[in-house]
Homo-oligomer: A and B are copies of this chain.
């Protein structure tokens, strides 16, 4: 399942059979004191592993650097540009296509990667039309999230180091969570934050956007199970189509 642990002799036939490559894409980014900098990498990687299992796909090694513009001034954050990411991801997609893959899943654990992933997906749509490309950021999680969450959702689509993301970590990587340090910090984010470049230090000191103390492993499991199902359904459909197209 782990692509990089295969050898070059066996892998060719298996690519032809599996057809799907899953690339976890994360980031190194401040996530308060109760979660590690690599939270988005851990989430993407472990979600990727589960999705690979559910769909009999190959899991690629994680791309652990992402676009972290908003939090780039917080300690520990590392950020790369949209264009650098889009170029690298496009290269990887073309390479996968040349190797015989027919479905390329970019599974992101970090919202800020969205622009680069979408751009790469569209470039590949032109360059290698027979490669189906997905860019996932917790699709299909909306209803389950609404059902389990206790704190109010914050501004727009933002969620970060909060009840929800901490629950994800408790489910997938609890050895890296220190709930003793979990805090509740509900910043006031104005409408303006969507309309002008707004580094997050202008509204939060902690980089925790919500109430992390409400996080539980069960909430994480509920939401991510729903999301995994949504992803697996899409991937399996694409896989069947690729097989039919043979």
Hey, which bits of chain A sit against chain B, CB under 8 A?
Answer: 3-12, 15, 28, 30-38, 41, 60-65, 69, 72-85, 87-88, 90-92, 95-96, 98-99, 115, 118-119, 121-122, 125, 132-136, 139-140, 176, 178, 181, 191-192, 194-197, 207, 230, 234
Contact status B84-A230, CB under 8 Å: no
Contact status A92-B78, CB under 8 Å: yes
Contact status B12-A41, CB under 8 Å: no
Contact status A75-B88, CB under 8 Å: no
Q: How many subunits of this chain does the assembly comprise?
A: 6
Q: What B residues does A15 contact at CB under 8 A?
A: 75-76
Contact status A99-B87, CB under 8 Å: no
Give 11 A-B contacts (CB < 8 Å), ordered by A residue: A3-B37, A4-B28, A7-B178, A8-B76, A8-B77, A65-B91, A73-B98, A125-B197, A136-B195, A140-B191, A191-B234
